[in-house]
Amino acid sequence: MVYGLLIVGIVLITLVINVLRLMTTPSLNRWLLVGASSLVVIWHGILFNFYDLHWSVLLLIATGLICFQWTGMVTAILVGWLLVYSQSGDLSFPLLLSYIFFGLGAALLFGYIKQLKRERSDRLRMLTTSSRQLNVFREVSFTMQDTLDPDRLLQTILTSVTAGHGLGFNRSIIFFADPEKDSIYGVMGTGPMNPEEGYQIWEEITRQHYDLQRLIDEKETDSTQDEPLNERIRKMTFPFKANHVFKQTLDSGRPQHVYASITDDAVLRLLHTELQMDECTIFPLHHQGIPYGLLVIDNVVNKKPITPQKIDGVRPIAEQASLALHQTTLYQRIETLALRDGLTRLKNHRSFEQDLDVLFRECDEDELSLIVMDIDHFKHYNDTNGHLAGNELLTRLASVIRRSVPDEQMAYRFGGEEFVVLLPRFDEIGATHVAETIRSAVLGTTFTHGNHQPDGQLTLSFGVASKHTLRDQTVEQLIECADQALYAAKSRGKNQVCRWEGVTL
């Protein structure tokens, strides 16, 4: 019966305390737990006429230690000892000593348990962080391997650093380095201009439930959120050879963790003024000793400190980005070599065939014209002045053509001394005007040994053909008709423009 009453009392106290704990603060919760333990001790004393009360005091000591650590434990020991004394009348110092040893033992045990929990929590946090970083690296690797487009590559790097499913920084910016032009210039960034804008972006991302890959795709198709930031950073240019933090980072090859608001460095001062940047970290992007640029990260919105652990988490991304930029640069150089004429730097015959095929399909309803031009008496020039002079002439002539056409990307070296120009949305009359512009520019240019040519100067002959005048709408006939017009210009005395309109030779 007595034990039943004890159990019922403890259950009632426990229920009441737990109900009250749901409606109070953590500090008051601790007091409630100590109070409940005290009530249990007193209840035990009442039921058993305070027999063996000194054993139930151990509960009070343990509770005091859990709730208020050393202070609570010492207070509980003294209170319990005095409570036993008040009932027994015996001031037992051995009992006090036993309480102290129990408290110390309990403190060691609870400390060990807390240490185990702390280590487990740290390991779990490290595993979670590592797993998150590995997921970011995997997503970034797949995306980088899937593209050689520089813009998509940069957007992938920036988004992986800033996305909530990525490394979680508020903002990231990439600057390119060009030692030959003595320039470090802003290229692309992602993130807000200020904290207020950042909160709006976060709310939208949270509402849409974007994962990292979807956010990368979204950024690629719609970059309007980052446009204010990009407009600002693309105006930023710094000398490569000057002594500033960007150059120091590239020279050292190590990340620089700096405070932009408390420095006299010209670069950091501009970043602080223009972008409200305070604490930031700058990562070098270089590969095999070649500097490609820098990655700058900061937390402009939540102001979270950038810890060494956070910096270590970005380093693999920066190294991976450096390798990807290196590969993209090599690819672009190879592509340039494959599609550009090595002498004149105009697009080559292969490029012409590819572009003409695309334009012919795209200009189904629109006009498309072709100009074919050939240097008059070029064999005489080579035989008289040598092939080196002939190469110099071709290079100089390519510059004249490039300056004289509406779009220099539509000018090609067709082969030997022959050049072509594609003119989308130009009919044969408009194309003839362009050809005359080139012819006049050539006549107005002084070429080395040009006065030794049979006509006393260097000249070109031109043939023009347009898509809508063709009997058969094919690429081959457009080229053939322009060639026929060129042959007509040659046969009629050279240094003139002939338009194909059923020309007979």
Supply the DSSP symbol for 467.
G
Q: What angle do CA 140, 333, 181 make, to 5 degrees?
A: 95
Evaluate if residue 505 carries a pLDDT over 50: no
* Type of residue found at 64: G
* The pairing of beta strand 256-259 with beta strand 460-466: unpaired
**Cα(186)–Cα(236) distance, rounded to whole angstroms?**
6
Q: Residue 342 corresponds to which tokens in the numbers above?
A: 């090595």
pLDDT in tens, 145-170: 666 677 777 887 888 787 655 567 88
Give buried/exposed letters for 117-139 (b at 16+ CB in 10 A, else e): eeeeeeeeeeeeeeebbeebeeb
**Cα(39)–Cα(55) distance, rounded to whole angstroms?**
15
Q: In the prediction, which pLDDT does 325 show?
A: 79
Name the residue among 169, 167, 92, 98 with its Cα closest to residue 135. Answer: 167
pLDDT in tens, 42-100: 666 666 555 566 667 777 777 777 777 888 778 877 877 777 777 766 677 777 788 78
Evaluate if residue 412 carries a pLDDT over 80: yes
Q: Does domain 349-499 have CATH number 3.40.47.10?
A: no
Helices (H), 48-92: 53-88
pLDDT in tens, 343-397: 998 999 999 999 999 998 887 778 999 999 999 999 999 999 999 999 999 999 9
Distance set, CA 400 to CA 94, 151, 426, 490 (Å):
108, 32, 20, 21
In terms of C-beta density within 10 A (0-12 exposed, 13-18 middle, 19 or more buried), how is residue 59 classed?
middle
Angle between helices 428-443 and 387-404 in degrees, nearest 10:
130
pLDDT confidence of 484, banded at 50, 70, 90? very high
Give pTM, 2 decimals: 0.56
288 neighbors 330 (Cβ within 8 angstroms): no
> Which H/E stretch holds residue 268?
helix 266-275
445 neighbors 338 (Cβ within 8 angstroms): no
Name the residue among 36, 40, 80 with its Cα closest to residue 58. Answer: 80
Q: Residue 33 corresponds to which tokens in the numbers above?
A: 């737990």
pLDDT in tens, 465-481: 999 888 778 899 999 99
Supply the DSSP symbol for 51.
T
Residue with tokens 């030959």: 180
Name the residue among 345, 438, 460, 459 with its Cα closest to residue 395. Answer: 345
pLDDT confidence of 209, banded at 50, 70, 90? very low
**Cα(394)–Cα(379) distance, rounded to whole angstroms?**
13
> Which H/E stretch holds residue 430?
helix 428-443
**Cα(186)–Cα(223) distance, rounded to whole angstroms?**
16
For the chain, the average pLDDT equals 81
Supply the DSSP symbol for 409.
G
Q: What is the CATH topology of the domain spanning 148-336? A: Beta-Lactamase (3.30.450)
Q: Residue 63 corresponds to which tokens in the numbers above?
A: 């509770």
Per-domain residue ranges of the chain: 2-117, 148-336, 349-499
